[in-house]
Amino acid sequence: MSKLMLDNKQIESSKLYAKGIVDDVMTYIYKHTTVSVERSILRLLGIDGINQFDVPFVNVIVDHVKEKADLSKGVCHYISYAIEEYDLTPNELAKKISDEKISLKRYQHMPKSPFMNKLTPYFNTSMTKIKEMTKIRENELAKKQRKETPEKYVIVATGNIYEDIKQAVSAAKKGADIIAVIRSTGQSLLDYVPYGPTTVGFGGTYATQENFKLMRKALDDVSKEEGRYIKLVNYASGLCMPEIAAIGALERLDMMLNDSLYGIIFRDINMKRTFVDQYFSRVLSAYARITINTGEDNYLTTSDAFDHAHTVIASQMINEKFAEIAYMDESLMGLGHAYEISPEIENSFLYEVAQAELSRALFPNAPLKYMPPTKHMTGNIFMGMVQNALFNITAVTTKQNIHLLGMLTEAVHTPFMSDRALALDNAAYIEKAFKNFGDEISYKPDGIINNRAQSVLSNAHALLEDIKNEGLFRTLEKGTFAGIKRLENQGKGLDGVFEKHKDYQNPLLDMMLLELKEAK
């Protein structure tokens, strides 16, 4: 039960507004597909590899259909006809299409394909593997009692997957529960997924299927040594959002950053492209039982965290409804927020507690992802250690779930292993010292924390009402979130969005949705 004195009618009304906002966007999403959704379908048909020019076969096929035929019918239309005619596997077809020995153009004007059953065995192979990966995760997690305190989450970001593995293993042995491999700078703007193991990332390591496989193996090995399951995180975002969700599901990633607004606001990816991609990626994540992490914390790096706290709450509610419509269980909704109020504000700690308690109260069954202070970290490592300690106290006290540890060297350099070790020591000490502190305290009904929480909720309610009336597209054009304006028909990737033809078919999506509905 929440300790806050909140207006429950306002909560219900806010969530109804959020549902209306998402339902409005879904009318667009249902009618459209994208190049990255279609490439995801090809990946889950078992198509893998690159041609002699290092172009992924999935890109070769989608570009081939886009340029020579009509992608609005969907890749399943073309591949099902081709398998019926040539009796080849999807991967064999891909190679021949790449070598220009087969053209799919001939099927452009064919009627709605009656050969979708030809794809079923290939989809079943991928779906069976995803289910097996899910079962492994569930079995491993069941071996240990669920943590009552937040899971300690740290990042590695060397650019070299083999160095990342060393740092990830060291962090796991020091007590980390979750390892996130930061993506190479700019990968979200690549309209393809790099191939194979990589050692040349800048500011992070490329997200590739082979890199996922290597890190998963390393974390499985250290999990056995430590006697507890170490979770792996990467980024299903950017122009290849659904593809990375697909390979993450196949390689047993446990969490993926997957936000409906982040790429639009912070990477200038077209909003139509992002919304269509995020829906398919979330259905995949729900099917694979991958916990998503949303990116509301980033709003507060460009907007003032005190004045714009309500935008975080509004976005969390919108993200929740986008996840619900993809049949995602609440236990997989890692809604994000952050400890970013200026330490110069009197009683800043109380305001941070209010914000964290508010998120906890609004989403009681969600594994909230709590982000550390970054905006007001100055390079003074001693002050940084204190700021992170207050953040850690808030995380434990308000029962956050996914606790991304702050680094004392934030604003100085990419963390050394020693910096990460100190962060883990700080969090472990506070986790033990404050374990039941939140159960022992209550808040004054008319005190700072309760008044602040209700004020933020009221502002979020008003904002959601405005968004419901204007529509989410118009809201993004106004720069409501993070103070950054994005236009509906501009941004990267718009040329990869297609209105579905009346004969469009996607049996994979139908299969996943049917199973998710039955599971509900």
| Mean residue pLDDT across the chain | 96
The pLDDT tens digits for 41-56 are 999 999 999 999 999 9
What's the DSSP call for residue 110? S
Helix boundaries (H) for 99-160 = 120-142
In the set 206, 262, 299, 443, the catalytic residue is 262
Question: How far apart are the C-alpha atoms of 136 and 252, rounded to whole Å?
Answer: 9
Per the annotation, the verdict on 81 as an active-site residue is no
Q: What is the pTM of this model?
A: 0.96
Question: How far apart are the C-alpha atoms of 94 and 86, rounded to whole Å?
Answer: 12
Res 155 pLDDT > 90? yes
Res 2 pLDDT > 90? no
Q: What is the pLDDT of residue 82?
A: 98
Per the annotation, the verdict on 262 as an active-site residue is yes
Res 324 pLDDT > 80? yes
In the set 164, 177, 277, 297, the catalytic residue is 297
Calculate the dihedral angle through the C-alpha atoms of 320, 323, 325, 327, rounding to the nearest 10 degrees.
Answer: -130
Res 214 pLDDT > 80? yes
The pLDDT tens digits for 19-32 are 999 999 999 999 99
Instruction: Quote the crossing angle between the two packed helices 90-98 and 75-86, to the nearest 10°.
Output: 100
Per the annotation, the verdict on 369 as an active-site residue is yes
Share of the chain above pLDDT 90, in %: 96
| AA letter at 82 | A
The candidate with the shortest Cα–Cα distance to 498, out of 39, 38, 72, is 72
Contact 314, 358 (CB under 8 A): no
Q: Angle at Cα 11 formed by Cα 10 and Cα 15, nearest 5°? A: 115
In the set 73, 152, 272, 369, the catalytic residue is 369
